[in-house]
Amino acid sequence: MKSLAVRILQFAVLSFSTMLFALTGQAHSASPKIGLTKVAENVYSFKYFIHRNMIVISDEGVILTDPMNAKAAKMMLA
């Protein structure tokens, strides 16, 4: 039979691990999955889950980088 100290230590480690897992899950779910962020004047970053691309606006036109994902490209142009 395990000693009381070993059982308490196991419980503490399990509780701490569970708490850490729950907190990291909340941090990831709090960040937006789709968004547009201003990086500099006339420069933007578009985010679609893990895909990112840049949008640069100038007097001569607009430059869009390819997000390398068909769904991300459709969302960016929507």
Report the distance separating Cα 52 and Cα 16, nearest Å: 34
User: What is each CA distance from 42 to 19, 51, 73, in whole angstroms?
Assistant: 42, 20, 20
Structure-model confidence comparison of residues 23 and 14, the more confident one: 14
| Global model pTM greater than 0.85 | no
At 28 the pLDDT is 54
Report the distance separating Cα 55 and Cα 74, nearest Å: 14
**For 19-78, how does the pLDDT look when each residue is reduced to its tens digit (9 = 90+)?**
666 655 555 555 668 888 899 999 998 988 888 888 999 888 898 888 777 888 888 787
At 44 the pLDDT is 92
Length of the chain: 78
